[in-house]
Amino acid sequence: MTVMTGRNHLAASGRPKGWRLLRAALATRKSATMLAFGFSSGLPYALLIGTLNAWLGEAQISLATIGVLSWIGLSYSFKFLWSPLVDRFPLPLLDRIGRRKSWIVLCQAVMIASFAGLAATNPATNIGTFAIFAVIAALASATQDVAVDAWRIDVADENSTVELLSAIYQFGYRIASIVGGAIALVLAARVAWGVVYIIMAALIGLMALVALRAPDTERPSADVMHGALHQPGALQPRVRLIALAIVGVSWIWAILTIASFMIRMLGTSDPKAPHPSVADFTKEFGPWIIFATVIVPLIVAAGTNWLRSHKRHVLTAPDSTHTPARNALNHLYVSLVLPLGELAGRLGWGVLIVIGLILTYTLCYNIWSSFAFPFYLDFLHYTKDEVAFASKIFGIIMTMVGIALGGYLFVRLGRLPTILIGAILPVFGNFVYADLAQGGPTIDLVSHTLRLDALATLFGSDERMVRLLLAISMENISTGIAGAAFVAYLSGIVSKNFTAVQYALLSSLTFLIGSLGRGIAGEAFDTYGYATVFRWTAAAGAVAVLFVLLEWMRVAAQQRRAAASDPQRTLDESASGGLRESGQPAR
């Protein structure tokens, strides 16, 4: 009889959950490090995308300005643009501590300095300097995410599998979201905001000490990178360079356009000075930004597909040229052009529906999510302790309930029905928040009918707190279901040959319109009030519902064609849960 060791038993029993996951995280050096890296990734995101807005709201910064400053979240959307630099460039002096560790430690040092800068700056009198520190921190945080994701894949082995490390990463990330959200708010009720951010910077410093002791991997030879691009049938390097230049110029223009507007919007320290209109900017440049970052890359991808299929400007013999510049360009090409090229080639015109769904699916709740703390604290006048519990503790529990329900619905109903439910429910969540903004008459009626108000009284609470908890329950369960369904959808649509890169690119698009919309949402909240804007964003969710229905029709048509060509294969796929996009060629 073979005696199974603790590690092998862990691998054999599948992915652990709950406290078993925490024990697994502390069982090995790699998994314990992964827990710390998950915390180090989640903490700055919570502090910059959510908690920072509570500070700004308390400082009486206008919602329009908060909306524009929330564009720092685009750093996480655009991080794949500089991921080749993180992957290939050895940092002077720091590279000796490790290929991935060097970047992680550098980013942590920059975040510590940036949080110290935020702590030393008064946003009410110097919002421009405050914004600079926030932008630098967001860029460092997004870059750290690139390095951490790569580290997780690099160090995985049979004892610390990618699946286990990914689960531990999420565990650490969720702990950080509580620390950077609930605990930060509780602290802010008792000490100055600057002190809170100094404490959070010290926590990142502790994570840097862990990073210094983390294992790492050797840097691979550049000669083995992207071998397929050197084989006959691949596009010639000159053509790849032209395609990459077109996409690169489009992305750079979009980023510089957004950055220049942020500078103009946040550049003045005089609160009485007129600011540029976010609504005018979004109306004038928003469509062009979407065109530059989505449509242009799709057109270029389709063009490269056409050239390859017609044997135009392709290699006729293996290309043996390996230079640092060529390898860097190949890496950028694989990151920016090839993933969309594969998707367009596989889905044909259906790629427009898929991209439309990806762009709009999270729209109705991503647009206003950055304003949750100002809404709770400054408009509804809940205390920091109340919001900390309701939003960051109770709310996270409700999100996890939603994720569990999403997984259950996915198994019971299938992929597209669950995705449709995930598109519809957040629309109702926005109407609930509109009711909350108007005093919660409908929420109170539900609370009284279910006797929740009486139950709250028994626990020493009141109807006002029940009102907030019910609204957060509806919102977080809805978005939890939607998030679980959407992750499953993206996982099914990506190609097995480009899983990591394609998933990173497509998932980044989900934040694009939402991030742009936050600017105009902030100005709209100031002008029209919360209730009206919540209803507008609910109506925007109808666009996602439309794209889900179109996608359902597209997949159904694809299944009919597959059934006509291979009935037995379709029966097998139906029995296993439906047609997986990544394995199917375009027809």
Helix axes 29-46, 193-212, angle to 10 degrees: 160
Q: How confident is the model at residue 6 (pLDDT cuts 50, 70, 90)?
A: very low
Q: Residue 567 above 70 pLDDT?
A: no
Structure-model confidence comparison of residues 465 and 265, the more confident one: 465
Q: Choose among 335, 57, 328, 23: nearest CA to 188.
A: 57
Contact 72, 135 (CB under 8 A): yes
Which segment of 101-105, 151-155, 204-208 scores lowest on mean pLDDT? Answer: 151-155
Q: What confidence score (pLDDT) does residue 93 get?
A: 87
**Greatest CA span in the chain, whole angstroms?**
80
Q: What confidence score (pLDDT) does residue 568 get?
A: 60
Q: Which residues contact 82 (CB under 8 A, 6 or more apart)?
A: 143, 146
Rounded to whole angstroms, what are the CA distances from 460 to 192, 420, 445? 29, 39, 20
| Stated length of the chain | 587
266-289 pLDDT, tens digit each = 765 555 666 677 778 888 888 898
CA distance 32 to 26: 5
Domains identified in the chain and CATH numbers: 14-218 (1.20.1250.20), 370-499+528-563 (no CATH)
Structure-model confidence comparison of residues 215 and 458, the more confident one: 215
Contact 521, 66 (CB under 8 A): no
Contact 23, 16 (CB under 8 A): yes
Contact 520, 278 (CB under 8 A): yes
Q: DSSP states of 294-337 as a string?
A: IIHHHHHHHHHHHHHHTT-SB-SS------HHHHHHHHHHHHHT
Q: What confidence score (pLDDT) does residue 55 get?
A: 93
Average pLDDT estimate for 553-581: 65
Contact 471, 376 (CB under 8 A): no
125-148 pLDDT, tens digit each = 888 899 999 999 999 999 998 888
Q: Residue 83 above 80 pLDDT?
A: no
248-261 pLDDT, tens digit each = 899 899 889 988 88
